[in-house]
Structure formats: structure tokens, C-alpha cells
Amino acid sequence: MNTQNLRDNYPKLIDYMERAGYCATYIIKVRREIDYVLSGADSKDWASYTDIYLEHVNKSSSRHYLRGKLNCLGIIERFDNRGQYPDGRRRQQIVKRGLYHLLLPEFKAVVDCYRASESKRNKKATTIIGEASHGASFLYALQQKGINTLGEITEAAVLSVFIGDDDTLRRSCSYKKDIVAILKACIRENPDCPEFTKILAYLPELRERRKNIQYLKPDETHQIKQALVNGDSGLSLRDRAVGSLVLYTGLRCCDIAGLTVNDIDWEKELICIRQQKTGALLELPLSVIVGNAVYDYLVSERPETECEFLFISENRPYGRLLSGSIGNISNKIMKAANIRQSAGDRRGFHIFRHRVATELLSSGVPQPVISRALGHTSPDSLETYLSADFKHLKECALSIERFPMPEVFAYE
């Protein structure tokens, strides 16, 4: 492993991090890792930065320790091999994500065929990524069972991926749908190849199940509202603005992360965005409570920066918040409101979106209007929220007046 470039130029990396405002403790960690790399490069059998990380893996199983080492090595590797300075946004490329890179060539070709086929059909890129990931995991599971070619795949092997030895379900119906999408794409591209049709027939019949959504109760909603307006709640103005947006508009986390300063029309009191998930345009009214929360953040807390995105990181180097970071704010709000602190409680922002839908439904707002407000492109997307519309569900209840209680629950 040649580290001469790093040895000659690493002071530039340290100097850049200091000028960019990185935490002094973090810079020290990066500098220590550089010293570790330079001191061991000649004496140890390292071929790449991946080998260095794997050595750390052998030393400790602590996720916190390994995450820190991976972040530091990622910064060093990008600077050494590609001349890139850290920006707080690029992902490390030392450890490859997913299982695709572990597949045999014939199985990789299946995933590649699916990607090429669906790209021509203009399927959304994020959907292709998700389905390809499940396809890779399915083929890797078969590969782990000693199957090396498509012709070796048996019905028993396919069923074992979905159903465990104790007859418990190991994969969901949505997972199966992704595998079906991959196989059908390959059948379209290779109509004379019988293996794909055979594997498709081996897939088990699964019922689609939906878990009950742990919806926000009225008292919980009240506590959240109090935490968002209370200056002593411990929430930053940014977190309060994000929480207000989700609570009152039901915007997705990805759309909030993609909001720019220019997406808010203060004169017309509108939020105008192009949705990340569907690509469709969406206009929502800017209510007073949401507008005030966003305005307070912009005027009193948001750092001065050329970044066009509305919500940015609190520490240098300032950059847009990603969807995951937006989602983490939900935990802060729940903690400030002192609700849902038990293990297993659902704390994601999607239940805020669920609340908006059920509130509108219970108020008698027509379903097409709700779908447009939530940015749904399919009317069926609203069905998952109907189960919590208790006001109208009670209207569907059948009377039991014809069945006197003593007769129904009589004991012999």
C-alpha cells in the first residue's frame, strides 16, 4: 500500500479541517488515524484502506468504536486516493454497502439485467435501488446454501429463504413483490430462458399484512404542540420549525430535507415543492403557526451561509440536513414532550403525517382533497389511514339491540 501521497500532503487536510470549523477533538482523531496508517503501512500487509478497517474490526466489536474508525478512514481515503476534502456529506467507500458485490457473476448479471430493463421503463431510481437490494439479498441467501447457478435453484431452496425451519415467516409479502419484479424484468429481457419462469413459480403465496399503526392520541398531540411553542422545552428553533411543518402539513421527511429557502412564498403564504418521492408538484398553505416557526429559525438561529436548503446542520461545515437527520429530530420532540419513551414505541415523523390524514378524514374532508394535500399520486395510498378514522368507523358499527346480553353470553 503506497502512502507517499498521504505522507506528503496530510497537513493540507488537517489545515482544511481547522479552517472549515471541524471540532478540535474530531481533528485529533483523524490525525491519530493518519499516524496509525503511516506507521503501519510499511510493516503490515495492507493492500487498501479496507484492510486497515478490518484490522480494527478484529480488535473490537463496539459499534461506536468502529463507526468512529470508519468515518476517520473514510476522510483519509478520499483525500489520499481522490484528492477530496471532507464536506460532511460524502459517504465512505471503504466498506461496500449491500450484498451485490458479494454475488457470483451469474447472480450479479440477474440484478444488472433488472436494473437495465427497469431504467428503460423509466421506473423511479429509488424504487430500482430498493428492489435491486432485495434481489441481491435473495440471490445471496441462495448462494449461501451452496447454489452457484440459476439452474441449481430448487423450490425447497427458494421456500427456505422465505420460511424458517420452524415454519416462521422470514420474509414479507413486499419483499416477495420485489423479487417478482426482478424476475419479470429478466423474463422480458430473456424470454427464451426458462430458469426465471421456474424460480417465479417457486415463490410462495403470501398474504399482505399491515401492522396496526401506533397513532398519535389527542393528549400526545397536545403535549407535542406545547413542546413546540415552549421556549424552555430544550428544542432548538430549527427543530421546532421542522416539527411544526410535519405536525401541521404532513410533509414527508425527504421533502422537508429538500426544502429550499425559495420554496416558501411569504407573500402568497404558500409552500411550493416538487416531491422527492413522486416528482409531482405540491402546493400547501403556509399557516401562521408554521410560518412563525420557520421565520423565527431563519431570522434568529440559521447560520449565514450560501447553502440554498432551508434546514442546515448546526455545526460547520454547514450543509443541508438529510432525511435521516430530519427523522432524528422526531426523537428530540418526543423526549421534550415526555411521551413515547418506552422501548418499542413508534417515534418516527410518519405518525405526524398519519395524524394529519386522520384529522382531515374525521373532519369530513373528501378523500381526493386529502390525497392531494398529502401528495399522494394513487387514491389507494389513503387506505392505510382509514383504520384510525374512529369517528366514521363508529358510524359503520352494527347495533346489537336484537341480541340481549344474557342470551349472547349465557353459560350452560
Domain match, 191 and 228 both = no
Q: What type of residue sits at position 174?
A: S
Q: Residue 202: helix, strand or coil by DSSP?
A: helix
Domain match, 256 and 299 both = yes
Residue 90 belongs to a domain: no
Quick check: is 350 catalytic?
yes
Cell of 250: 404532513
User: Domain holding 275: CATH number?
Assistant: 1.10.443.10
Residue 12 belongs to a domain: yes
Domain match, 239 and 316 both = yes
CA distance 223 to 100: 45
Catalytic annotation, pick one of 252, 302, 354, 355 = 252
Domain match, 38 and 111 both = no
Last residue of a domain, one of 352, 382, 406: 352
Q: Residue 236: helix, strand or coil by DSSP?
A: coil
Residue 365 belongs to a domain: no
Question: What digits encode the pLDDT tens for the residues 201-232?
Answer: 999 999 877 666 677 888 999 999 999 999 89
Q: Where are the beta strands (DSSP E) in 184-261?
A: none
- pLDDT for the residue numbered 412: 47
Quick check: is 353 catalytic?
yes
Distances in Å between the Cα of 242 and the Cα atoms of 73, 89, 114, 281 are 33, 20, 38, 20
Cell of 41: 503501512
Domain match, 129 and 105 both = yes
Domain match, 304 and 234 both = yes
Residue 76 belongs to a domain: yes
Domain match, 175 and 262 both = no
Question: What digits encode the pLDDT tens for the residues 2-36?
Answer: 899 999 999 999 999 999 888 899 999 999 999 99
Domain match, 329 and 244 both = yes
Cell of 79: 483525500
- pLDDT for the residue numbered 212: 65
* Angle, in degrees to the nearest 10, between helices 63-82 and 49-59: 170
Residue 402 belongs to a domain: no
- pLDDT for the residue numbered 42: 82
Domain match, 178 and 230 both = no
Domain match, 197 and 230 both = no
For the chain (412 residues), the mean pLDDT of every run of 10, in chain order, is: 92 93 91 94 88 89 88 93 82 79 94 95 87 96 95 96 91 94 96 94 86 80 95 94 95 92 95 86 94 96 91 84 88 94 86 85 79 75 60 62 62 48
Residue 385 belongs to a domain: no
Q: Residue 367: helix, strand or coil by DSSP?
A: helix
Domain match, 144 and 50 both = no
Q: Where are the alpha helices (DSSP H) in 338-404?
A: 350-362, 367-374, 383-386, 390-395
- pLDDT for the residue numbered 356: 86
Last residue of a domain, one of 52, 82, 112: 82
Catalytic annotation, pick one of 277, 335, 346, 372 = 277
Residue 327 belongs to a domain: yes
Quick check: is 252 catalytic?
yes
Number of domains in the chain: 3
- Bond from prior residue into 317 cis (ω within 30 degrees of 0): yes
Which domain does 232 fall in, by range?
218-352
Catalytic annotation, pick one of 56, 302, 353, 354 = 353
Helices and strands in the chain: count of H runs, count of E runs? 19, 3
Catalytic annotation, pick one of 29, 31, 123, 350 = 350
Q: Where are the beta strands (DSSP E) in 251-292?
A: 264-265, 270-274, 281-285
Last residue of a domain, one of 140, 167, 202: 202
Residue 375 belongs to a domain: no
Domain match, 197 and 105 both = yes
